[in-house]
Structure 1
């Protein structure tokens, strides 16, 4: 759906000013949006995942481990496909008032794409370099976003999400290195065109949410504080936005309609994008990709620098 289509529907949870701010800047932050009851359930589910990770000794399709992770002292970077790992997360996404928030910025018909839980463990939780989401999972239109929920209070020292305003209206950057390796971040030669000095820092008290369009440039600093920063992340889209490529984070819920009805037509916006690597085998996390843990080469069509067309 287009922003105009979405805004033609009356708001359910957000104010009209908040909706317009999202479309203008490419992101939105709402403090204390999740009530204490849901927040408690989400924290309990997260504690269960951390407890499970104690028996994990190497990163796998679910748990991405920080260096130094151990049974005695778990240190996680990510848990992937959390909706498949604990039913509380799926219940939250489909049964809580957050559904109305999603409809306010995606339209009445909303579907699920992927979920994850990114940690920044105290004293060294990894940074996330500047990047966009669209190069990872391009869709037929731009009504695609990531919803984040802070499970704990998050201040500047914990490495909150940062987003460059209006970058969702600007260029889509190459996330491949010159040798054709996928790095998952904007290349250093292009960073001069990114308005990092204007980036907004989206911290907030526990229960706050962040929403950013999948074209928006975003990242976060390392967590050098004494407090952790668990951040739930759900990628959702308008029902008429269709993915072009395989989903790296497999889920039995992928493409499930969580509000409204399935789309009868796909909505296409024009554009030419680089195709990401073949994610059909999955990957552990953006942390592993950006830290160059393993390699992901560009498809052969990109080897000579030619982009693949999508329109």
Structure 2
């Protein structure tokens, strides 16, 4: 694989299984990953809050568990890849745990509200004391610029699976080369060409690419990274097992003009930032659009896994 050609790549880290197990066990001691995480319908209706529910400084479990995370971040393969891609002065913008919640643990009252939503970030429905992680029940293909209005695509996302992730465990879905069309408003213009292979056409800025979706499955400790304009998403977890991962946003060293990300960005002929990143939300933050393109590829054996 090639980051510059495809917009994503993997890093062959050498995490010790005991390190991953210790981190997962520490996360598990902080809460039960079941319906007790959620507000009741009456509690939600009394004070619906759809903004500011993600982890933030002072309310981020990754901060509290830094002593267990730091040894993973010191992995030689990881640090070497980040230097090559982002330059020696790269900086972590954001670090948090992301949880793919299983259908069986979503309260019945909530399921009808979120069925077929574009983005099912569950933070608005989670009890405030547990909003130190991000909880998802599927999210359509999007760019990570979605949360960064007017910001240049000068960062990458790094994703670390902390446990084995198979096809039914809410793996990441990526559309290779979609980063070549630059920054684009969400939801994106996508057409399914071949359901069995997950082949799609993505159109932006009067241009288009056609590619087969890839599915990122792998063992505990699998690490992938991608460009801020690369389209990616997840389907809801198929079974009863939640999926916990670490997600990083890491910005490029502004003085590293010959790092991989700087070279890649210089080769993209379209804008790398936009003022309005999404059109699916009301001013309150409530979703006003339905439809989830990535779910059209559910259960397709023809999808390649990497």
2:138 counterpart of 1:158: no
Which residue in 1 is equivalent to 2:188?
186
CA deviations 1:260-300 (Å, max 9, x no partner) are 9xxxxx999683733258xxxxxxxx9xx979794279xxx
Which TM-score applies when normalising by structure 2?
0.58
Which residue in 1 is equivalent to 2:271?
271
Structure 2 runs not aligned, ≥5 long: 45-52, 105-135, 193-199, 204-208, 257-261, 288-306
Which residue in 2 is equivalent to 1:213?
227
Aligned to 2:285, which of 287, 295, 303?
Answer: 295
User: Structure 1 residues 219 and 202 mapped into 2: Cα distance closer, same or farther (>3 Å)?
Assistant: same
State whether residues 178 and 202 of structure 2, in contact with CA within 8 Å, keep that contact through their aligned partners in structure 1. no
User: Structure 1 residues 44 and 122 mapped into 2: Cα distance closer, same or farther (>3 Å)?
Assistant: same
2:213 counterpart of 1:199: yes
Report matched runs for 1:38-53 at 5 Å: 38-50=19-31
Which residue in 1 is equivalent to 2:241?
227
The residue matched to 2:248 in structure 1 has which SS? strand
CA distance in 1, matches of 2:185, 2:234: 19
RMSD after superposition: 4.3
In the TM superposition, what is the alpha-carbon distance from 1:127 to its structure 2 partner?
A: 0.9
Structure 1 runs not aligned, ≥5 long: 1-17, 60-65, 67-76, 176-184, 242-259, 261-265, 278-285, 298-311
In the TM superposition, what is the alpha-carbon distance from 1:210 to its structure 2 partner?
A: 1.4
In the TM superposition, what is the alpha-carbon distance from 1:222 to its structure 2 partner?
A: 0.9
User: Structure 1 residues 198 and 292 mapped into 2: Cα distance closer, same or farther (>3 Å)?
Assistant: farther
CA distance in 2, matches of 1:55, 1:135: 30
CA distance in 1, matches of 2:171, 2:39: 27
CA distance in 1, matches of 2:185, 2:33: 36
CA distance in 2, matches of 1:134, 1:46: 28
Which TM-score applies when normalising by structure 1?
0.57
Query: Could you say which structure has the higher strand fraction?
Result: 2
User: Structure 1 residues 58 and 196 mapped into 2: Cα distance closer, same or farther (>3 Å)?
Assistant: farther
User: Structure 1 residues 221 and 290 mapped into 2: Cα distance closer, same or farther (>3 Å)?
Assistant: farther
User: Structure 1 residues 156 and 79 mapped into 2: Cα distance closer, same or farther (>3 Å)?
Assistant: farther
The residue matched to 1:232 in structure 2 has which SS? strand
State whether residues 78 and 116 of structure 1, in contact with CA within 8 Å, keep that contact through their aligned partners in structure 2. no
